[in-house]
Structure 1
Amino acid sequence: MFWHHYFYKEEIRDSTSSPVVNQLEFKSKIETDRSKRFDFLLKQTEIFMHFMSNSAKNPTKSKGKQKKNKQSSSVENQERPEKQIKELFHFEDSPAYIRNGELRDYQIHGLNWMISLYENGINGILADEMGLGKTLQTISMLGYLKHSKNQSGPHIVVTPKSTLQNWMNEFEKWCPSLKVVCLIGDKDERKVLLKKVLLPGVWDVCVTSYEICMREKSVLKKLNWRYMIIDEAHRMKNEKSKLSEILREFKTENRLLITGTPFQNNLHELWALLNFLLPDVFNSSKDFDSWFNTNKCLGDDALVQRLHAVLKPFLLRRLKLEVEKGLKPKNEIKIFVGLSKMQREWYTKILMKNIDIINGAGMMEKMRLLNTLMQLRKCTNHPYLFDGAEPDPPHTTDTHLVDNSGKMIILDKLLPKLQAQGSRVLIFSQMTSMLDILEDYCLWRNYQYCRLDGQTPHEDRNRLIQDYNMDNSPKFIFMLSTRAGGLGINLATADVVIIYDSDWNPQMDLQAMDRAHRIGQKNQVHVFRFITENTIEEKIVERAETKLHLDKLIIQEGLLGSNAGHSLKKDEIVEIMRFGANNISALKESEFTDDDIDALLARTVIKTAEDTLTENSSAILKPQRQVTMVDQEEFAKKEREHNRKSNISRSSETSTITKQTNGRKLNIYTYSFQAVSM
């Protein structure tokens, strides 16, 4: 049995075999000019495409020969002559080993794509948009290996802790013939599991988390894995991270990365993924970054197309709008709210404390800048996030919890309308302390709810999801932290998503939205994004949309955009803070009525998340009384003049804020909203 050979040393391949391009030739290529090195890389992908296209032209219903290859032999496989190209088992219908349902057409195509990669010794990235069943497609591939290739394993699936149970459930539902073991638990539990289950080898697939992989690396690295599958693979974007370094040491025949967000920040991260898959081809980050230097590529359409060809063999990405015709596009409305009186006071205090930075005169330590930015973000959520903002004890939960936050006022008017129309709601926030406030609010308003964040025990996660998703569930609200609750969770029984505060990384918000907007969703999904107007939140959303634009160009359209996804620089942080400072006096008070909420819910033509960056299709909600750009400039001018005359110093105002370093705050100006097309 294959298992008995796990701890034997791998056989060394015949070093006399001469690949088309060996390491010495590759090194010599690196020393040549940039264009020649690019041609070399492109040639490798063209060879892969040649293999795959020939296989696709001659599909067969018979089983292919057993493939013999190791991870390190990926380049060797490229040089096989055409006569040795294997014919592929090509599925036209959902495989018989898939139970309790059938694969959709595009999922069958995804399965055939993975089979093509496997037969030709190529690793790849399954990068379908979130909610298209990447887990099911992957399970179907492992089922193919067992039932069509007689290769039951061992395979390993490495996934975030939050999605472990979902993977186990999906295996049991779709392919119960696969024997799956979940490696999780404390040290003693894992020791028993390794000794009595894992080492005897009576299983096909091991599902475990990133953390357990690192803790049990000494054992897991000894095994010869047929397939390594990494879910939410953007965790591998830093090739120097501990996780990436450890997983690179695993002995694997094939590797598959699964991610709905293959591009998040910059092109170097994309190289890190490709290098993990094909180190023999993508072995130089310096050359890759140079080839993909977007500032030099934008004007060369031919080069742009050739660069896209580099990604094509390794990456499969489909969008919901393209393949899932029965799933309506999600509709997103940006709701711009104002600061309450209390919020505005706190926001101003924070700015006054850091007036030297805003004026460009103070020491701009990055930690201080980031801390100030976080304080301003807390202010735009709720003022009670700051110690001392909430009324003195005894603390009571009543209208002041709503009245002192602009977002809470809107939420309080929106939720009963949604409940009356039969909707169910997901609320996402970056801050668990904000979830504490929302939890108090739900108790006060008698809304039944579930809550999930990074501190939720693993064993409770599945129970909470089941409680919310069960038929006729009384749970109206599911509140989640964006980072912990945005991955691998199916909450398609909800049809409304509220982004209480936006993430710096737009992919995190998209993942959160797609907890509801996914296969199985029967209703139109509406997304309400709360943005505090004329504050740093506007700049955060603006920057996030720039990142999304870059992702759309590179992955979805095969183009390249500017490398705008870098981390925040000091001058960028100051610019964001100045935006809020210059516009603080532009806030106006007006009423926000139930009629406005009714009009909001009646809207049917709104911008979808897929069209986030198309300004012509954008629809937002703005106050009826709006401040023009000229007005804003005038306000800013007066504010600066006032500051100069007052010779503002960091004295009494500063000492007040220094005592309030921990907390929450938000003030609301109630607005009467109308729809405005941008």
Structure 2
Amino acid sequence: MALSVSRAKTAFQFFQAERIGDIKKELGPGTSMGTAMSELSERWRNLSENGRSRYVAKEAEDRKRFQRESAAADARAYAEQTARRNNLVAKEGEVPSERGARKRVADERAELDAARRRRKAEIEAEMDPEELAERRRIKAQKKAETAERQRKREEQERAVAERHKKLDKAESQRANSRLEFLLKQSAIFSKLKMGGHHKEDEEKKEDGKYVSHHRQAGSGKGRPPRKASSKSGEEIDEDEEGNEDSEQHVFLTKQPSCIKFGTLKPYQLESLNWMIHLAEKGLNGILADEMGLGKTLQSISILAYNYEYLGIQGPHLICVPKSTLSNWMNELNRWCPSLRAIRFHGSKEDREAIIREYFTNEAASHDGKRPPNQIRNEDTGDMEDDNSENPRAWDVCVTTYEVCNTERKTLEKFGWRYLVIDEAHRLKNEASMFSKTVRGFKTAYRLLLTGTPLQNNLHELWALLNFLLPDIFSSAEQFDEWFNLEIDDAEAKKGMISQLHNILRPFMIRRLKVDVAKGLPPKTETLIMVGMSRMQKALYKKLLLRDIESIAGKTTSKNRTAVLNIVMQLRKCCGHPYLFEGVEDRSLDPLGEHLVENCGKLAIMDKLLKKLKERGSRVLIFTQMTRILDILEDFMFMRGYKYCRIDGNTDYADREAAIDNFNKEGSEKFCFILSTRAGGLGINLQTADTCILYDSDWNPQADLQAQDRCHRLGQKKP
């Protein structure tokens, strides 16, 4: 075998071999390799062209050596391979072909099978006839059981396919109803021509009036749904005269009785009626209330309405960020315990156990506590038992975006009544894996929850609308062209915005805290301009001078990447100088005052936290970098502040324990330090009254989301 050839060295490696020993001696004993290498790199950068020439010459000479030895090694390897082949030909006559090799393998396998059959026949000949008969009977029974399982599996697959076929038919009918309704709502749709030609939807008429599917719920079989009207009118008001479409619709004046924990606020009851009206029209919707107004409860209320008034127990699917999973389970169990909710999350083994227990054919059998699941006959409007799948032991499945992607095939087997997506701006990229996954689910209705439906541009809004109404908002290019707000004509731009509002009005509702949450204390924002410490200034200047060529050079893709890297390094410098290797003096106490004095931001925050502690406040601190969280932990320990922490690496159990520990009554925790992306979405930390953004996100909406972790319903302090 040919010997390996040592790789060619660079000029810097020759310089390192010659000078590293001298540098370690100069820096003294105990010097770390990182410090020595930093000094070596600095001297190499400061070395003149004439000084480098000797090492460059060594590099060129060593490269030639590498090329010579590589060529010789290749020649030796080729010679060895040729010799081995010649020896094989001399020994066996010729090298066997691949086809001949396959034939020999097949012959050998057939010979082995024949030998096994002969051996089996010999064993059976020696066996007692009764024992042989019993053995054959058991084998035939197992074969029959296998065939029966296969038959059941195929039958279940056919049932699922039939269920999906019915859902497709129902969706087609709803699409016609949607287009008809939207065209009546706004003439803009006819101008946009976003939808194709749809034939007019044919609906049953009763006494010359259209009767919504919701009004027909009481005539079905199975569990009798609660009546959608009453003589006293205490629960529901009916429009007896009919609307402009001569159509009756449902209007609730009281929340469903299965909502137990408290009372819906007026604006939350309004949104429930809005969602009911959407369902009557076959529309999907966006619940875009400002963060902190209770979108979770409002979405639970529409599921409770389906359960109580329509006798529909799902199945419903709720997709949420990992950080809000336990909050959703708590809210479902607290507000509507009648709905049986399961959490689909965990390790691969945990998920497989959940699938076996709840999603398989055997585990889906009815538990005797509830009547069978009800579905609507789209032809008659009546409620019927769902015989296409076995009745379920659950009503609502709550899972995360990541599990949706991982377990897509399992979730695709269901026909979901409601698909609810929390923090739905996750769908702003229609090409993302999660967006493609949920688009493949069979759903009757889709409800998106987001406090920030528009973060960067109108294309993101189109992505949400396309997910809700793909038959209407089918063309991104056409949408972008129609609503091009980058024009100079102020009047035309104003008209476009007005038209956009008209389009969104039927299927998006948004309320602000200032308008509906009158009892919520006001939010005061304070911007503190902070100077850098002497160490930060020196490091900042050094970073700029090190890459001055990238900053001053021509703009290229490579140069642009270098500039972005410089910006990131400067952000780290502003966050804390100790984020850079070799900057912190390791001879000092790790928890000494230098940790605060060498960072302008931390010095100001130190004074601020002392004041907040004195007045009894509790604080959330958000940052972009987990390494800054490490420094903040050292600071908390140094000052004796009790705290909790969440970042992207915090597992589910620890995350929930930290939130519960911070929110519990009488908690001694003063601060909660979080990374903006991991802890800034969907969690309730209203027991805190102050939010500090240690550094800003590139997307200002992420900062707003972080602020509203504490400025939400339930907050008592301004």
| TM-score, normalised via structure 2 length | 0.64
Corresponding residue of 1:299: 491
Question: Quick one: distance in 2 between partners of 1:521 and 1:271?
Answer: 34
Question: Quick one: distance in 1 between partners of 2:618 and 2:549?
Answer: 46
**Which of 320, 328, 340 pairs up with 2:521?**
328
Taking the TM superposition and a 5 Å limit, the aligned residue runs for 1:601-640 are none
The question of whether the paired residues in 1 share the 8 Å contact of 2:210 and 2:246 is answered with no
Taking the TM superposition and a 5 Å limit, the aligned residue runs for 1:540-559 are none
Letter in 1 for 2:193: F
Q: Does 1:243 align with 2:434?
A: yes
Corresponding residue of 1:376: 570
Corresponding residue of 1:565: none
Q: Does 1:358 align with 2:566?
A: no
**Which of 259, 284, 296 pairs up with 2:475?**
284
Corresponding residue of 1:347: 540
Corresponding residue of 2:600: 406
Q: 1:295 to 1:42 in 2, by over 3 A?
A: farther
Question: Quick one: distance in 2 between partners of 1:421 and 1:395?
Answer: 31
Question: Quick one: distance in 2 between partners of 1:258 and 1:180?
Answer: 19
Taking the TM superposition and a 5 Å limit, the aligned residue runs for 1:59-458 are 64-66=215-217, 87-199=248-360, 200=364, 201-296=392-487, 298-300=490-492, 301-361=494-554, 365=558, 366-393=560-587, 395-458=589-652
**Which of 169, 173, 176 pairs up with 1:13?**
169
The question of whether the paired residues in 2 share the 8 Å contact of 1:232 and 1:259 is answered with yes
Unaligned stretches of 5+ residues in structure 2: 1-155, 180-187, 204-208, 220-241, 365-391
Instruction: Give secondary structure in 1 for the equivalent of 2:454.
Output: coil
Instruction: Give secondary structure in 2 for the equivalent of 1:438.
Output: helix
Instruction: Give secondary structure in 1 for the equivalent of 2:286.
Output: strand
The question of whether the paired residues in 2 share the 8 Å contact of 1:156 and 1:225 is answered with yes
Letter in 1 for 2:546: K
Q: Does 1:465 align with 2:627?
A: no
Question: Quick one: distance in 2 between partners of 1:191 and 1:267?
Answer: 40
Question: Quick one: distance in 2 between partners of 1:67 and 1:269?
Answer: 41
Corresponding residue of 1:497: 691
Give how far 1:82 is off. 8.1
Instruction: Give secondary structure in 2 for the equivalent of 1:252.
Output: strand
Q: 1:402 to 1:16 in 2, by over 3 A?
A: closer
CA deviation map 1:528-569 (0-9, x unaligned): xxxxxxxxxxxxxxxxxxxxxxxxxxxxxxxxxxxxxxxxxx
Give how far 1:60 is off. 12
Instruction: Give secondary structure in 2 for the equivalent of 1:497.
Output: strand
Instruction: Give secondary structure in 2 for the equivalent of 1:13.
Output: helix
Q: Does 1:520 align with 2:711?
A: no
Question: Quick one: distance in 2 between partners of 1:97 and 1:134?
Answer: 18
Question: Quick one: distance in 1 between partners of 2:212 and 2:176?
Answer: 31
Q: 1:318 to 1:3 in 2, by over 3 A?
A: farther
Give how far 1:360 is off. 3.6
Letter in 1 for 2:461: L
- Over the aligned positions, Cα root-mean-square deviation in angstroms equals 3.3
Letter in 2 for 1:432: T
Question: Quick one: distance in 1 between partners of 2:658 and 2:514?
Answer: 30
Instruction: Give secondary structure in 2 for the equivalent of 1:503.
Output: coil
Letter in 1 for 2:491: G
Question: Quick one: distance in 1 between partners of 2:212 and 2:169?
Answer: 32
The question of whether the paired residues in 1 share the 8 Å contact of 2:174 and 2:281 is answered with no
Question: Quick one: distance in 2 between partners of 1:462 and 1:197?
Answer: 24
The question of whether the paired residues in 2 share the 8 Å contact of 1:236 and 1:273 is answered with yes
Instruction: Give secondary structure in 1 for the equivalent of 2:525.
Output: strand
| TM-score, normalised via structure 1 length | 0.68
Question: Quick one: distance in 1 between partners of 2:483 and 2:298?
Answer: 31
Instruction: Give secondary structure in 1 for the equivalent of 2:645.
Output: strand
Q: 1:240 to 1:437 in 2, by over 3 A?
A: same
Question: Quick one: distance in 2 between partners of 1:228 and 1:67?
Answer: 24
CA deviation map 1:139-166 (0-9, x unaligned): 0110000011111100000111111101
Instruction: Give secondary structure in 2 for the equivalent of 1:185.
Output: coil
Give how far 1:100 is off. 1.5
Provide the aligned length of Structure 1 versus Structure 2. 491
Letter in 1 for 2:293: L
Larger relative contact order, structure 1 or 2 (CA cutoff 8 Å, min sep 6): 1
The question of whether the paired residues in 2 share the 8 Å contact of 1:210 and 1:243 is answered with yes
Corresponding residue of 1:600: none
CA deviation map 1:230-263 (0-9, x unaligned): 1111111111111111111111111011111100
Larger radius of gyration: 2
Question: Quick one: distance in 1 between partners of 2:243 and 2:285?
Answer: 22
Q: Does 1:509 align with 2:703?
A: yes
Q: 1:232 to 1:59 in 2, by over 3 A?
A: farther
Give how far 1:329 is off. 2.1
Question: Quick one: distance in 2 between partners of 1:16 and 1:207?
Answer: 27
Question: Quick one: distance in 1 between partners of 2:247 and 2:638?
Answer: 65
**Amino-acid identity (%):** 49
Q: 1:156 to 1:17 in 2, by over 3 A?
A: closer
Question: Quick one: distance in 1 between partners of 2:666 and 2:260?
Answer: 26
